[in-house]
Amino acid sequence: MSEDLEFHSIDEIRYYIKKEVERQVALNEKKIERWRVAKKGIWLLLLVVAFLQYYLINVIYQTITLPTLEVSVPVPKPPPKTQT
């Protein structure tokens, strides 16, 4: 601090210390709140990623386990060639 503090009694010192501690606590609470929001955001993101991973693995598994189906498509015989 660049300001010169002058105290004339013990009560002034106690008051100054009390206010300084309150200021420090308020600063720490702001930092902690930011980290709490970041933590919640990260957990939400991880939950979404886990759900998408589960969903995509499930879809791929279902696609792989589909039974095969052979379909014959009748093809008409080409017309006979005529000699000219």
Residue 3 has pLDDT above 80, yes or no: no
What kind and span of H or E run contains 53? helix 10-64
The pLDDT of residue 38 is: 95
* Mean pLDDT score of the chain: 89
pLDDT band of 40, cuts 50, 70, 90: very high
Could you tell me which residues come within 8 angstroms of residue 16 by beta carbon, excluding any fewer than 6 positions away? 5, 7
CA distance 61 to 55: 10
| Residue reference for tokens 């009694």 | 9
What is each CA distance from 16 to 1, 8, 84, in whole angstroms? 14, 12, 117
Look up residue 70 and give its two tokens.
Answer: 């052979």
CA distance 4 to 46: 51
The pLDDT of residue 43 is: 97
pLDDT band of 84, cuts 50, 70, 90: low
